[in-house]
């Protein structure tokens, strides 16, 4: 539901059944979010706003229990920390997927620690980590069922994933040229795969790059040779490159194979 037309929103809300299980709100918010509280059967909720000020009425929503909620997506800006933390305390236990600020690489240490404390059953997580390796370790310890993590990549985060994660078998790396440290060198990539290969028990990894940069990981032929090497060894079971708009953009590894 796009919240751009003040006249249409009230009538649309009244038409929504209380049994609604999926709700997606994006655009510029013009009504209090407290109306969401009537949808007690929600299983998936997405709030995609550009500014923190758009989260009108979240003060009331933070105290509501959604016992069926399994997927929470807050893709751009997010509510004030203290409000979101209380919401997670009430609703984090049943979450299987949580996406926080992943469109912009937003990093918030206190919220990441709250995720580790309140969301023990997560299987998929997307959040930002800015040189917070201890925080990342705490998240892995608190969320031991994690199978997939999406982060804005840099060397230290990859080291922590290889060292501290428990059940990860899918790594999604966001890449954007406006990030200060966005280029992963071949020796750093090789080091990550060596660490991953030596994990016990060993798990094959799905590696997905999401990028719009001309200097992303897969633009470097040496990186691609390393990826192909570990694909042949069975360390990489799937490799995919996509941009921020196209989920079906694949990179043909055959181009980089040696005869």
152 pLDDT band (50/70/90 cuts)? Answer: confident
Q: DSSP 3-state assignment of 227?
A: helix
Size of the chain in residues: 259
pLDDT, average across residues 150-168 = 85
* Contact by Cβ (8 Å): 135, 112: yes
Mean pLDDT score of the chain: 83
Q: How far apart are CA 134 and CA 121, in angstroms?
A: 20
Say what the pLDDT of residue 183 is. 64
Give the pLDDT confidence score for residue 1 in this predicted structure.
54
Domain 16-145: state its class.
Answer: alpha beta
Q: Which of 34-38, 197-201, 228-232, 239-243 has the lowest mean pLDDT?
A: 239-243
pLDDT at 257 over 50: no
Instruction: Output the CA torsion sign for 84, 212, 238, 229.
Output: negative
More confident residue, 238 or 1: 238
Give the helix ranges, DSSP H, for the chain. 9-15, 58-61, 81-91, 109-118, 133-142, 155-164, 186-197, 221-232
How many Å separate Cα 185 from the centre of its chain? 23
What does the pLDDT average to over 17-26?
91
Of these ranges, 71-85, 101-115, 135-149, 231-245, the one predicted with the greatest mean pLDDT is 135-149
**Contact yes or no for 207/176 (Cβ under 8 A):** no
Asked if pLDDT for residue 82 goes beyond 70, the answer is yes
Question: SS3 for 33?
Answer: helix
Q: For the segment 28-81, what is each residue's pLDDT rounded down to a tens digit? A: 666 788 889 999 999 999 988 878 888 888 888 899 999 999 999 987 788 888
Q: Are 49 and 79 contacting, i.e. CB atoms less than 8 angstroms apart? A: no
For 193, phi then psi, to 5°, come to -70, -30
Query: What predicted TM-score, i.e. pTM, was given to this entire model?
Result: 0.85
Query: Is residue 249 over pLDDT 50?
Result: no
**Tokens encoding 219:** 């633009």
Closest among 97, 78, 139 to 114, alpha carbons compared? 139
Contact 37, 64 (CB under 8 A): yes
Question: pLDDT digits over 173-208, tens only?
Answer: 887 654 444 567 889 899 999 999 999 888 999 999
As a whole number of Å, the CA-based R_g of the chain is 20
């Amino acid at each position: 539901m796009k919240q751009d037309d003040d006249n249409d929103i009230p009538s649309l809300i009244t038409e929504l059944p209380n049994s609604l299980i999926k709700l997606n709100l994006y655009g510029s918010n013009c009504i209090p979010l407290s109306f969401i509280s009537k949808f007690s059967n929600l299983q998936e909720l997405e709030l995609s706003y550009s500014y923190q000020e758009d989260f009108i009425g979240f003060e009331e929503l933070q105290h509501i229990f959604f016992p069926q909620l399994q997927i929470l997506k807050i893709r751009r800006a997010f509510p004030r920390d203290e409000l979101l933390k209380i919401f997670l305390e009430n609703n984090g236990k049943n979450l299987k997927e949580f996406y926080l600020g992943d469109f912009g690489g937003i990093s918030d240490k206190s919220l990441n620690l709250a995720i580790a404390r309140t969301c023990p059953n997560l299987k998929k997580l997307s959040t930002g980590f800015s040189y917070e390796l201890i925080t990342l370790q705490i998240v892995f310890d608190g969320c031991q069922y994690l199978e997939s993590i999406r982060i804005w990549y840099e060397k230290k985060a990859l080291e922590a994933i290889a060292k501290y994660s428990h059940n990860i078998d899918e790594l999604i790396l966001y890449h954007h040229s406006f990030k200060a440290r966005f280029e992963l060198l071949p020796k750093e990539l090789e080091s990550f795969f060596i660490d991953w290969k030596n994990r016990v028990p060993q798990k094959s990894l799905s590696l997905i790059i999401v990028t719009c940069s001309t200097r992303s990981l897969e633009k470097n032929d040496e990186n691609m040779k390393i990826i192909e090497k570990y694909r042949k060894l069975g360390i990489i079971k799937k490799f995919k490159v996509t941009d921020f708009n196209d989920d079906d953009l694949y990179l043909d590894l055959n181009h980089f194979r040696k005869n």
